[in-house]
Amino acid sequence: MTHVAVIGSQWGDEGKGKVVDWLSERAEVIVRFQGGHNAGHTLVVDGVTYKLSLLPSGVVRPNKLSIIGNGVVIDPHALFNEIERVSAQGLHITPENLMIADNAALILPVHQHMDGIGEKLRGASKIGTTNRGIGPAYEDKIGRRAIRVCDLGEPEVLASKVDSLLAYHAVMMDYAELPPINKAELLDGLRSISARLLSHARPVWRVLRQASMDRKHILFEGAQGTMLDIDHGTYPFVTSSNTIAGCAATGSGMGVGALNYVLGITKAYTTRVGSGPFPTELTDDIGKRLGERGHEFGTVTGRARRCGWFDAVMVRQAVHIGGLNGIALTKLDVLDGLDELRICVGYRLGDRTLDYFPAGQNAQAHVEPIYETIEGWSDTTHGCRTWKDLPAAAIKYIRRIEELIECPVAMLSTSPKREDTILVRDPFLG
């Protein structure tokens, strides 16, 4: 029995969708444990492309149980829209194959208003959120005023909680000169979806406990990446949840000892969406080339991603913080044809040399990368499925990355197709 957690080791968008889909074929249960519908996975199965945000990747395969854990904040309307979209593609989503934690917090229309107000007040220092209400929903959860899935089954409790929630946010709504949220309309909206949402609601911690006792393989699917973690990322330019593997336990109700293998999805270069520090960012023709060849546009937002060289210092930090046992290196083929490559092996900050990414906001903004130059390759790696198919220089690049990040490559992805994968070590075999 092996339970695997998959997390991003950079700023998200590392290609988790394909790898999670590849692994989900080997798992019986797939769990989303944090984030909201700001996350996006693109899966290509039998020539059909599925774009998922809230739904776990297991929904694209028959006879899999998909679970949305308590660590996820759920916009019920976005969830049902997504279900309807994939249902139109031939998938069948039922309460038997999609379960939702009954103690998960909901995203309400007021949260989207708060998201927009917050970004407006930050001005030039805005975070670059997706304005989907994710952060404000987590704020209400921590502030103990959230509406949870289980509240939909207790009408009197629900009405009382809505009163408290709207009273809290009324001050900011008034400050922003926005009309107050209509309580009756909000309650009507929740009542309209309550029966459907509650049909999927379960104490999923019990379901997972039983699955583990039945020796089923469980795959924990993370969203975003380590450097967007609310504690360990480039704060305040981060997401509103913990994105590291430890959150797989708290965000699902499984004991932390249940995680047997942590796989970090790692892009062969570096990208970032939105604001915040990015030491190895390239604004030249090479950066543009990486973006074009890598099709670097957000699955959810459509925003162009910033591109740069591989940052080994940052990924090594993610390895240590997240307890990674191995990485899945993705998009190696995007580097095909470059005469030389650079890898960040350290930072300069004033007269100091650092071998870690500092926590201070000013320090993060001013570190300068120290590069090591390595030979590129002219042959293609696109579609390679064995090590012997790879150019020697590409193998050298991979081996150097392993040395610098202090973690082995367990999987290598050479195209968006799930079959174009070189497996070094199957995480489910430990």
Residues carrying an active site annotation: 13, 41
Buried b (16+ CB within 10 A) or exposed e, 237-256: bbbbbbbbbbbbbebbbbee
Residue 412 near residue 424 (C-beta atoms within 8 A): yes
- CA atoms lying within 13 Å on the CB side of residue 390: 21
Question: What residues contact residue 203 under an 8 Å CB cut-off, 6+ apart?
Answer: 101, 102, 103, 253
Question: What residues contact residue 47 under an 8 Å CB cut-off, 6+ apart?
Answer: none
Residue 6 near residue 401 (C-beta atoms within 8 A): no
Which residue bears the tokens 């913080």?
Answer: 321
Residue 374 near residue 293 (C-beta atoms within 8 A): no
Helices (H), 38-182: 76-87, 109-122, 134-142, 155-175
- The C-alpha atoms of residue 280 and residue 291 are separated, in whole angstroms, by 14
Residue 149 near residue 100 (C-beta atoms within 8 A): yes
Buried b (16+ CB within 10 A) or exposed e, 398-425: bebbbebbebebbbbbbbbebebbbeee
What is the separation of C-alpha 29 from the centre of its chain, rounded to a whole number of angstroms?
Answer: 18
- The C-alpha atoms of residue 403 and residue 387 are separated, in whole angstroms, by 18
The single-letter DSSP state of residue 107 is: P
Around Cβ 326, how many Cβ atoms within 10 Å?
A: 20
- CA atoms lying within 13 Å on the CB side of residue 106: 26
Residue 224, both tokens: 């975003």
- The C-alpha atoms of residue 332 and residue 327 are separated, in whole angstroms, by 13
Residue 186 near residue 108 (C-beta atoms within 8 A): yes
> Which of 56, 1, 15 has the alpha carbon at shortest distance from 327?
15
The single-letter DSSP state of residue 179 is: P
Residue 40, both tokens: 């996006």
